[in-house]
Structure 1
């Protein structure tokens, strides 16, 4: 008898593949930010849950509050939630690309996109990219895949 993948296994594999593909679509230069985007239809609760999880994972990679984050937010609930989550982890956040020069500045770009009833979220810096799929509910969001991590040398 030949074993086949279950529908959930195929969905997770597909989501992981899409996240990996998206991680190669953009790269950041150290002095330039790419436009970030997130769909406006993601609720504030879901945006907060996704942003909180992604920033906690970012802090594991770059250290909490050790730098100023340069961010080009959009007007979406996710953009606002991401900025709040970064500040909650102790990062200084600049959105106009001007800094006082006291700390190192890390350009950060993000992307959130709907995919097969879930949302795929990605954070990108010049040294690390994080991606993960989330199941969105009325009260928030929960991770639906393992964290995808790409480190650049």
Structure 2
């Protein structure tokens, strides 16, 4: 049985471990894919409600960085719950979404990659564009997901 003092010591260590893992997730895969973007990946085990909660939170944070509905977002076609939730959240914020990479010549395209990684009882989420990377840890429940860490933001020159 853990004592109060044990819990006080374990909580910061667990938070530090999550932050460290999130940092590795954000920086370790930087060179994969084209233009510095990692290939999109999300496990199919994430439930629809959890995927929607994570996608909604991450897209709202992305909109704070690139402006709401100002461009068309290019996504890899994905039938996973998170891929579908991400596309719906982007459209809900007013972004055009293309998966076949074909657009009109004058359309501003923002390539977007994502990664969802289960880690230590939580889920680490990452959205990447050519200029911005966002990452956050989430605690997944039966009814959705809740942020378990601060938002990590990295801007590229």
TM-score (norm 1): 0.91
Q: How does 1:1-153 map to 2 (within 5 A)?
A: 6-24=9-27, 25-27=29-31, 29-30=34-35, 34-153=38-157
TM-superposed CA distance for 1:33, in Å, is 6.0
Q: 1 CA distance for matches of 2:105 and 2:93?
A: 20
Contact 2:37 2:130 in 1 (8 A): no
C-alpha distance in 1 between matches for 2:37 and 2:99: 10
In the alignment, is the contact (CA less than 8 A) between 1:67 and 1:92 conserved in 2? yes
Helix, strand or coil: the match of 1:134?
strand
Q: Does the 8 Å CA contact 1:134/1:145 hold for their aligned counterparts?
A: yes
- Secondary structure of the corresponding residue to residue 94 of structure 2: coil
Q: Which contiguous aligned blocks of 4+ residues in structure 1 show a shift greater than 3 angstroms? A: 27-30
Q: RMSD across aligned C-alpha pairs, in angstroms?
A: 1.9
Structure with the bigger RCO (C-alpha within 8 Å, sep 6+) is 1
Unaligned runs of 5+ in 2: none
* Structure 1 unaligned spans of 5+: none
Q: Take 2:83 and 2:9, find their aligned partners in 1: how far apart are those partners?
A: 35
Count of equivalent residues? 150
Q: Secondary structure at the match of 1:42?
A: coil
TM-score (norm 2): 0.89
Shift of 1:35: 2.5
